Chain A
């Protein structure tokens, strides 16, 4: 239909590391036509971002194109030098990045940052560049653009920062825009707004876009064509409907299965052939607690105010039975993490009480709670397994530490056995125990974090976005693990997440938070299928759904 804009031909990229050259991209071939949006999907380490950076010539100093060609309008980008290259970068070809706040210079007003890009490529006056920057802010639908011109990135929300990045990227009307995980880390609702804006701008300006993402659903929603990458190669390229209804490659099948959808169940998250590798999920139905059993956790009118400001959380009440799983969802700033931290007794509530197993713990100061005998009953799994493990502790130390502190165990054979047992319960290979966090993969680190949390056999596990930093296939395994632990050991789970599909699968009940207050709660499936409030409906509608047509149903 239209001419070929970009042609990547048998691209090889290698990085020099301490252990020699490592090939990150091994023979990628793909084409992008003018004006089309191509999805480049894969998990971390698949080489999708490296392919993007090689195309825009933004590879780290350690990375080198070792083979192949990148032809942009027939010109080999890999051979460009100096001025020729700079005339391309930001002008004919531009890029937006993950984590928009970090991608903007923190001490330069955003108006100047947009004008920088314009002045680099156009011979116009500073005033004219400023006027163009203002127009661009309008184009990316930023309110009060005149005032925002002088704002600094820390004064803007994540979604606004990404719009500013888009404004910079489109400032010189590029023919190709590469968007590298543009909405990862943003709320679902913000993600939808930003992606809709990007798609509209691309369509209006006839700009070709490569959307690099780990989220198959997102790519399916916005792209006509999706290329799936695994370990440096493109394993499959097809339209979204073909990809979901008849995935050809084993990796694609696994990826499709692992992507949670509105209807998937935890058991569905792995493909048939893989399922046998995991122990059959104990499908024992949860025993309903006998009538009149006091709840495990009761939270009454909890509130938290920081520094006299408005309440981060107000009037939050809930109960949880033993072995129950409850989801806590909401956008960032809704107070879900604050609430979970108060329940974990990591921070002190301003008002209200927390009753655990009949004992009031809300008034024990958080800094003294570690001495409470209930500390081992309430444990937490943190969001980022990379940041929440001590880099100087081995996996073994990490799991052994709570046992020594809270169970009073001494170093020795008994401790070693308990650690090994914990590792086995979470499916962590025992030979990984002497390793340090940087020697473990994301999924392995997540397992260490969970093993640490369950080491003292808690009765309540609070999970703060435990899978947000993980690939979907790893997330699938971690979710299955959590579900199994809950069923086997009757651990109650309080699951804090912005990923509604995950919450729907894992949690019996869901509580929706907005601006620090509960807006809706109820049985998960019913709540998501029939949201009663506009806010919940907005959240549900913003999830990029994978089209589950009749063909897919037939394939299953």
Chain B
């Protein structure tokens, strides 16, 4: 098992290298001279030259890439052009809120979507099934910002149950922290819950038709034992896959959600960096998100082997 994980980690290295190359090329893919792009519209030729020199843009591409990778491996993501702060420090400051939002959303999704999917599959064709799947289509079709503003209007402005926007760190207490995350997590989780519920239902329907479910009934097992012991684990592989893919969805969605709810997270940082053409910050964030995604994929592969003994490692 351990050697399998190690082999998988080694296998992710080329992926990370390609991602790094792509992220680094961002600066060059953008039209025009990178130094001019970075310096902005009102810069003098001296400013441009100074930036060119400070970033080492006058040196050959591969050497620049090599030294960039070398610095990253030492934990140095560069310095923000706009704030002159180290990129790693800026990301570190903003990591907490985004991570909190993603974890709460992920937990909410699993706790809500999987049981909904199981119930829908169990009662396939019934009214309950149709209601659940109706909600799924609804959740799927609504953009995050629409859901976000609707939730904020109903639950924060009208009912005044929850704060409208903002973020409180976990260090100031669990409830203040959670209170601020509920609405954003629901807004962000809508699409995700819909997706996972649908996949859970489809996977469960397939499994419930298998012969071994009939065997479980023949043993006299109750409905709960059949659904959760025998069926759900067998249906787990597609569900886990979609939850993993959904984390990519979450990253994209977090950018929008953080703007709607004024959460000072990585999403907001990304937007600010893009608007300011702060390339080192953009590169740092994209690299981090890619790394997270590769890590998630690795975790999914490991979960597969835990769930299904037929998958060899």
Answer yes or no: A104 CB below 8 A from chain B CBs: yes
> What is the CA–CA distance of A97 and B218 in the complex, to the nearest angstrom?
10
Most buried by A among B217, B219, B310: B219
> What is the CA–CA distance of A88 and B230 in the complex, to the nearest angstrom?
20
CB-CB under 8 A from B210, the residues of chain A are 102
Which one of A113-121, A182-190, A282-290, A528-536 is at the interface? Answer: A113-121
CB-CB under 8 A from A103, the residues of chain B are 211-212, 214-215
Name which residue of chain A comes closest to B307, CB basis: A107
Whether B307 pairs with A56 at a CB distance below 8 angstroms is: no
Answer yes or no: B233 CB below 8 A from chain A CBs: yes
> What is the CA–CA distance of A413 and B220 in the complex, to the nearest angstrom?
60
Whether A58 pairs with B214 at a CB distance below 8 angstroms is: yes
Binary contact track B209-241/A, C-beta < 8 Å → 1, others 0: 011101111111110010001100110000000
Output the least CB separation between B268 and chain A (Å).
Answer: 43
CB-CB under 8 A from A120, the residues of chain B are 219-222, 225
Output the least CB separation between B240 and chain A (Å).
Answer: 13
Answer yes or no: A434 CB below 8 A from chain B CBs: no
> What is the CA–CA distance of A388 and B215 in the complex, to the nearest angstrom?
28
> What is the CA–CA distance of A90 and B211 in the complex, to the nearest angstrom?
16
Whether B215 pairs with A168 at a CB distance below 8 angstroms is: yes
Whether A105 pairs with B310 at a CB distance below 8 angstroms is: no
Tell me whether A106 and B310 are in contact in the complex, defined as CB-CB below 8 angstroms, given that A97-B215, A168-B215 are known contacts. Answer: yes
Answer yes or no: B272 CB below 8 A from chain A CBs: no
CB-CB under 8 A from A152, the residues of chain B are 309-310
- The total number of A-B Cβ pairs within 8 Å is 74
Whether A99 pairs with B211 at a CB distance below 8 angstroms is: yes
Interface band, chain B: 20 to 34
Output the least CB separation between B116 and chain A (Å).
Answer: 21
> What is the CA–CA distance of A213 and B307 in the complex, to the nearest angstrom?
36
> What is the CA–CA distance of A147 and B218 in the complex, to the nearest angstrom?
26
Binary contact track A291-314/B, C-beta < 8 Å → 1, others 0: 000000000000000000000000
CB-CB under 8 A from B219, the residues of chain A are 89-90, 94, 116-117, 120, 168
CB-CB under 8 A from B308, the residues of chain A are 106-107
> What is the CA–CA distance of A165 and B218 in the complex, to the nearest angstrom?
11
CB-CB under 8 A from A56, the residues of chain B are 218
Tell me whether A105 and B217 are in contact in the complex, defined as CB-CB below 8 angstroms, given that A86-B222, A152-B310 are known contacts. Answer: no
Output the least CB separation between B270 and chain A (Å).
Answer: 40
Answer yes or no: A460 CB below 8 A from chain B CBs: no
Answer yes or no: A91 CB below 8 A from chain B CBs: yes
CB-CB under 8 A from A87, the residues of chain B are 220
Chain B residues at the A interface, C-beta cutoff of 8 Å: 210-212, 214-222, 225, 229-230, 233-234, 307-310
A-B contact pairs, 7 of them (CB 8 A): A86-B222, A87-B220, A105-B230, A106-B212, A106-B234, A120-B222, A152-B310
Chain A residues at the B interface, C-beta cutoff of 8 Å: 56, 58, 86-91, 94-95, 97, 99, 102-108, 116-117, 120-121, 152, 154, 165, 168-169
In the complex, the 3 A-B pairs of residues with the closest C-beta atoms, listed nearest first? A90-B220, A89-B220, A90-B219
Please name 19 further chain A to chain B contacts, defined as beta carbons within 8 Å, in addition to the given A99-B211, A165-B215, sorted by A numbering.
A58-B217, A87-B220, A90-B219, A90-B221, A97-B211, A97-B214, A102-B210, A102-B212, A103-B214, A106-B308, A107-B233, A107-B307, A107-B309, A116-B219, A117-B220, A152-B309, A152-B310, A154-B309, A168-B215
